[in-house]
Homo-oligomer: A and B are copies of this chain.
Amino acid sequence: MARGRKPLPPDASRRSDLLRAAARLFVEKGFDATTTRDIAEAVGMRAGSPFYHFRSKQELLKAAMIGGLEAGAERLRAACADIADPEARLRAMVRAHLGNLLENECPAPMLLGETRALEAADRAEIAAAFDRYQHPWQTTLDALAASGKLASSAPPVRLLLFGMLNWTPQWYRSDGPLTLDQLAAACVELLLGQPPDRSVSG
């Protein structure tokens, strides 16, 4: 009952070390191709020790996904909290989401593809966390549609947008010709139509 006074007793830091290492490896090599030995080695433990902190490999995946999604959702909220204009707001959200995907060491959204490694009950929890992540997007898209900047904000639009963004890790290289800000701008431009000062000729 009266447990857990201290916010981060030294043990919890090792636990989150494991989570970070696992998330990184799962993204790099995939869930199945990552062994619990890999994860242990990545944090300087022996093969069996992670099982002191987590009951199973699946539990590690689940915790990494939910934790990463919540952290990402928090960054997303912070990035667009006080932006009223829907277009600027969308730009900020796209940029924040790309950041979550591409410049974070634990890109949780990329783990979504590994959900099939989990059981139905766990999948439901993941789905709930992902819904919380998606919610602010629909709000913003609705606002854009209402102001006429977007033709429609029906569900497929949000899903297509997510696809556009979530696929970027397949091809984007941070040492390439495109900064994340430029990429975010390109996305929004593609969605909303013309670039800043161009009018359709025809």
Contact = CB atoms under 8 A, between A and B. Distances in A.
Interface of A: 29-30, 32-33, 112-113, 116-117, 147-149, 151-152, 154, 156-157, 159-168, 170-171, 178, 183, 186-187, 189-191, 193-195, 198, 200-202
Contacts of A32: 30, 32-33
B178 A168 contact: no
B163 A201 contact: no
A186 B202 contact: no
A191 B187 CA distance: 10
Copies of this protein chain in the complex: 2
A180 to B, nearest CB: 12
A27 to B, nearest CB: 11
B156 A201 contact: no
B148 A202 contact: yes
A194 B147 contact: no
Contacts of A165: 163
B170 A156 contact: no
A189 B30 contact: no
Contacts of A195: 151-152
